[in-house]
Amino acid sequence: MKVWIEGRVVEGDEARLPVTDHGLLYGDGVFEGLRVYGRQVFRLPDHLRRMGAGARAIGLEIPGGLEALERIVLETARAHGQDEAYIRLIVTRGSGALGVDPSTCRDPQIICIVDGIRLYSEEKRSRGIDLVTVSVRRPPSDVLDPRVKSLNYLNSVLAAREARLRGADEGLILNLQGTVAEAAVANVFAVRDGVLRTPPATDGALAGITRASLLEIAEAQGIAAREVSLGRFDLIDADEVFLTGAGARMVPVASLDGAAVGTGGQRPVFDRLDAAFAEFVKTRGTPL
C-alpha cells in the first residue's frame, strides 16, 4: 500500500492523520474510488469532476484544485507500481476545533491510498453473490444527496454489516418509497427480456462511473437500456441481476432474500457486457 499524505508518498503504516481532523470526527469530506486497469487510471477526469462537484456542494475547497488531485493520483499510483490497483482519493475538511462548525478548519487535507482490492472470490464471481434486502433505508436527496460521495458513509456501512450478519454477501438498500436505491457499495442492474434496467439517481442511486460506462457500452452493443424505478419483485423476476462499482467492477447476483435470481446461471447479457467492459477500459484510461 502506498499513501500520499502531507505532500509525499509513504508506506501505508507510516500515514498519520490528526485526531482533530473533521473528516475523522464528523465524516466531513468527500472521496472517490477509482481503478487502475493495465497501468491506466480508469476515467480519471470523470472521477475528478464528480469529486469537484461534491466538494462544491458541501463548501469544501480542494487545495490546488482538480489539477493537483490528478497529479497526486498519478504520482501515488506510479509509486505503487502495479498494473492493476484500487485508488481511494479523499479530501477532508482538515483539523479544527471540537464541534461541527467547519469554519474552524483552515487547511483541507488530501489523502490518496493505492492498494490491491478483491471484494469477491473467483468462485463468487462465477456463481454469483447472495443479496439480502436490509432494514436501513436510503435517505432522500433533500436530507442527504447521494450524488455527494461524502465521508459520512454510515448508511452503507450499516447495510453491509446487516447483510454479513445475515449470511449474505451484499445488502440491497431501498428508499423511503420502497423501491431499489442501490446495493451497499454498488449500483444495481436487472435484465428482463433482453432489456437492461437500473434505478435512476432520483431513487437514491449514486451516478456511478462504472454504471455510466455500462449504459454507454450497452448502447454501443445494441442492448436496450433504461433508467427506471425497480422493486424487489423486479429483481426476483429478472432474467439476470448484477452489481457494478469501482471496487466490485461487475459481479452477478445469484439470490435475493433466499430466492434464486435468474435462469439457471445463464447470463448472456452480463457475459456480453463483461467482455465489452474489459475492452472498454483499455480506451478510457489516463496512463501512469
| CATH code for the domain of 108 | 3.30.470.10
Neighbours of 79 (CB within 10 A): 17
Predicted confidence at residue 121, as pLDDT, reads 81
13 and 133 in a single domain? The answer is no
199 and 133 in a single domain? The answer is yes
Does residue 288 lie in a domain region? no
168 and 261 in a single domain? The answer is yes
Residue 49 has pLDDT above 80, yes or no: yes
Residue 147 has pLDDT above 90, yes or no: no
Q: In the listed set 115, 135, 160, which residue is the last one of a domain according to the structure?
A: 115
Residue 264 has pLDDT above 80, yes or no: no
Note if 149 is an active site residue: yes
**Mean of the pLDDT values across residues 229-247?**
96
Neighbours of 114 (CB within 10 A): 27
Does residue 106 lie in a domain region? yes
**Mean of the pLDDT values across residues 203-209?**
93
Range of the domain at 235: 122-283
> Which one from 2, 124, 149, 282 is the annotated catalytic residue?
149
- Chain mean pLDDT for the chain: 95
**Mean of the pLDDT values across residues 28-32?**
98
Residue 118 has pLDDT above 90, yes or no: no
Evaluated on CA atoms 113, 114, 116, 119, the torsion sign reads: positive
Predicted confidence band of residue 239 (pLDDT cuts 50, 70, 90): very high
43 and 184 in a single domain? The answer is no
Predicted confidence at residue 189, as pLDDT, reads 98
Q: In the listed set 115, 149, 177, which residue is the last one of a domain according to the structure?
A: 115
Percent share of the chain, pLDDT over 70: 100
246 and 230 in a single domain? The answer is yes
Do residues 154 and 27 make contact, with C-beta atoms less than 8 angstroms apart? yes
What 3-state DSSP class applies to 228? coil
